[in-house]
Amino acid sequence: MSQPSPLITTHDLSFCFGQRQVLHNVNLAVPPASIYGFLGPNGAGKSTTMRLLLGLLPAPTGAVRLFGHDLAQHRLALLGRVGALIEMPSLYDHLSGHDNLEVTRRLRGLPAARTPEVLAIVQLSTDAHRPVREYSLGMRQRLGLALALLPEPKLLLLDEPTNGLDPSGIMEMRELLRHLRQDLGKTILISSHLISEVERLATHVGVIRQGELVFQGPLAELQRLEHRPAQVVIETDDAATCRNLLPLDLGAATVLAPGTLALPYQSPEQMAYLAQQLVSAGQPLYSLRREQASLEQTFLDITETTQRA
Amino acid sequence: MNAAFPALQMPSPGAQLRRSFSSDLLKLRGTAALWLTLLSGAFPVALSLLIYYFKGQYLLKPGQNPWQAYVLQSWQTASGLLLPLFVVLLTSLLLNIENKASAWKHLYAQPVGRGALFASKLGLLLGLNALAQVVYAGLLAASGLLLGLLRPELHFLDHALPLGPLLVLLGHTFVATLGLLAIQFIASLWWRSFVAPVALGLGATIAALTLMRWEYISWVPYAAPLLSLRAIAHTQSALAVNGALAASEWRSLGWFAVVLTLGYGLLRRRHEA
């Protein structure tokens, strides 16, 4: 087996804030050159895990390994190879974007050429000498990413990097991360509470729920978990009336909203038949469509149904 | 397993400290902390200059060396009340650069140890404190010379500028600020707020000035700057300053050592949640 060694591994990683246990035996394995989407609802333990991976919270010896080395023993040396963006980037508003990068570049003892290089990567070169207090949220987030990229890290840890971004900002960030992996060979661990944010980006996914890792594997594997049948969704005026008028056809349907019905999908003929029946019953038919459960639904199922169990 | 990855390299403690300091210096650019350091000394000097310019003839006896009275009069206001407040404000302003940017999580995720970050900030604070006091003393000396030109009848130019005694006095005042500086430094790092340590410092300074006649006042670090004035010999002749450290100054050094050691021990264990 020539399986490449994971860049990040955690071994039965647990953590307590006082009496409250927030992580239970988490075993992460982030393969090299992957974009690993670390997903879970708010408060599931994502941020705590990210902070443990950076040594901001203490992890016991042997629990966290980066690049094959134990973090507890080699923290500073390992941090030299990691770029991180934890939620909102830490920016000095009174300094320019350029000087903000210089602060971290000097702190890490990196060559002066890195500052213009990362400014170019995140496309902030033209705004580099404006004070950061004038930056938009998207620009701040990109500058935060530039800070993480300064040391040319093999590994990027990004905690909710699209928090607070507008849709175009999210798209820009997504393009940037894809470029970093494909063209620069970075491994990226990105946490998010929205699967829609990472599903077009991630190669691998880990799902955390109430401090437990409930799924980990390639994205395709998560997609295969989805085995629920497709549904027919009907948009009309009054769902309840339709059901009463057509008890044979719609008796099994569920009312999703006052004007929306859903029932198990069978065949294209079923769709045509339903349309005909509704129209003959004198009911308006605004829309009739077949819906496959989305990855989002699968994600919600993993994080919610196990919660009830 | 490790064979797949290159060997680890860690920056030396010296390199960490150098890098932190260079980065801290850059952050100072255009901040209130820097302006306060450079300008705050001018305020008490300007007051003394105006007082002596307009009323100097009533404050000096004929034939008296004016330097001693002039320095004592200015130093009393400047070091007794203004200096503790200056140190309180400077410490909070300097650390607020990080607090405002919520930068600690970022700094602690860099390949620089907490010890280096702590030492670099402390070094910068001590440097700014010293710089402000030197600027003040320099301006005070220059204002005396200026008075000599503007009001020759006060005889500032007829007597030598007491540079030596001024430097000794400066040393006393600097040592006297160290105890309260350490307390403010740790308080600002611990609370990560601007207002709370300033409130502590204001309250403590006012309490210290109120309790000046208490028999244990020399243990109170916020009173030490005013107490260090006792090093000035009360004579009518040239300015003379006793070189030996007073009890309050030794205790200021003690506070400095103890507070920083305990504070660093506590801060090192702090979780970045």
The answer to whether residues A129 and A201 belong to one domain is yes
Determine the pLDDT at residue B119. Answer: 97
Report the residue count for chain B.
Answer: 273
Which residue is associated with the tokens 């109170």?
A: B220
**Any idea of the CA torsion for A272, A277, A282, A285, to the nearest 10 degrees?**
-30
Residues A211 and A114 in one domain: yes
Average pLDDT for A43-66: 90
**Chain A interface includes B61 (CB < 8 A):** no
Does the pLDDT of residue A290 top 70, yes or no? Answer: yes
Domain boundaries, chain B: 30-268
Closest CB to B19 among A68, A95, A107 = A107
- In chain A, the residue whose alpha carbon lies closest to the alpha carbon of B272 is A56
Residue B60's identity, in one-letter code, is: L
Residue of chain B nearest A147, judged by CA positions:
B106
- The verdict on A45 and A108 lying in the same domain is yes
Mean pLDDT in residue range B113-130: 96
Cβ(A194)–Cβ(A41) below 8 Å: no
User: Both tokens of residue A91?
Assistant: 């920016």
Convert the pLDDT of each residue in B211-256 to its tens digit: 999 999 999 999 999 999 888 877 767 788 888 899 999 999 999 9
Q: In the predicted model, is pLDDT for residue A287 greater than 60?
A: yes
Q: Tell whether A46 lies on the interface with B, counting CB pairs under 8 A.
A: no
Tell whether A39 is covered by a domain.
yes
Query: In A124-253, where do the E strands start and end?
Result: 155-159, 187-192, 204-209, 212-218, 231-235
pLDDT at A179 over 60: yes
pLDDT, tens only, B145-194: 999 999 998 899 988 899 999 999 999 999 999 999 999 999 999 999 99
Task: Answer whether residue A82 is part of any domain.
Answer: yes
A139 in any annotated domain? yes
Residue A306 confidence class, pLDDT cut points 50, 70, 90: low
pLDDT at A266: 86
- Residue range A292-301: average pLDDT? 75
The strand pairing partners of A215, in sequence order, are A207
Residue with tokens 């860099």: B110
Q: In this structure, are A65 and A207 located in the same domain?
A: yes
Indicate the number of domains in chain A: 2
User: What is the band of A3 on the pLDDT scale with cuts at 50, 70, 90?
Assistant: low
Report the alpha-carbon distance of residue A177 to residue A141 in Å, rounded.
13
Residues A29 and A86 both lie in one domain: yes
pLDDT digits (tens, 9 = 90+) for B64-103: 889 989 999 999 888 888 999 999 999 999 999 999 998 9
Whole-number pLDDT of residue B2: 45
Q: Which of A70-74, A80-84, A162-166, A225-229 has the lowest mean pLDDT?
A: A225-229
| pLDDT value at A5 more than 90 | no
Confidence check on the interface: ipTM exceeds 0.85, yes or no: yes
Q: Which of A204, A224, A244 is the last residue of a domain?
A: A224
Quick one: A21 and A145 in the same domain? yes
Same domain (yes/no): A30, A66:
yes
Q: In which band, very low, low, confident or very high, does the pLDDT at A2 lie, cut at 50, 70 and 90?
A: low
In this complex, do A106 and B19 lie within 8 Å of one another by their Cβ atoms?
Answer: yes
Cα–Cα nearest to B122, from B20, B248, B236, B31: B20
Predicted local confidence at residue A140, as pLDDT: 93
Q: What percent of chain A has pLDDT over 70?
A: 97
Say whether both A50 and A80 belong to one domain: yes
Q: Do B1 and A5 touch (CB under 8 A)?
A: yes
Amino acid at residue number A24? H
Please, what is the average pLDDT of chain A? 88
Which residues in B lie closer than 8 A to residue A99 (C-beta atoms)?
Answer: 26, 29
**Record: contact A92-B113, CB cut-off 8 A:** no
Is 60 exceeded by the pLDDT of residue A192? yes
pLDDT tens, position by position, B17-62: 999 999 999 999 999 999 999 999 999 999 999 999 999 889 888 8
B111 contacts A108? CB cut-off 8 A: yes
Name the residue in chain A with its Cα closest to that of B24: A103
3-state secondary structure of B62: coil
Strand A260-264's sheet: what is its strand order?
Answer: A254-257, A260-264, A231-235, A287-291
The whole-angstrom separation of Cα B5 and Cα A2 is: 15
Q: Is B273 at the interface with chain A, CB within 8 A? A: yes
Q: Which of residues 6-45 of B touch A (CB under 8 A)?
A: 8-11, 15-16, 19-20, 22-23, 26-27, 29-31
Q: Compute the nearest-CA separation of A92 from chain B (Å).
A: 5
Structural domain including A19 reads 8-224
pLDDT at B1 exceeding the cut of 70: no
In a domain, A171, yes or no: yes
**Across A2-6, A289-293, B12-16, least confident range:** A2-6
Do strands A69-70 and A287-291 pair parallel, antiparallel, or not at all (unpaired)? Answer: unpaired
Selecting from B9, B26, B113 the residue whose C-beta is nearest the C-beta of A103 gives B26
**Residue A227 confidence (pLDDT):** 67
Q: Would residue A30 count as lying in a domain?
A: yes
CATH of residue A258's domain is 3.30.70
A298 belongs to a structural domain: no
Q: Is residue A257 part of a domain?
A: yes
How far is C-alpha A15 from the geometric centre of its chain's CA atoms?
22
The answer on A235 and A208 residing in a single domain is: no
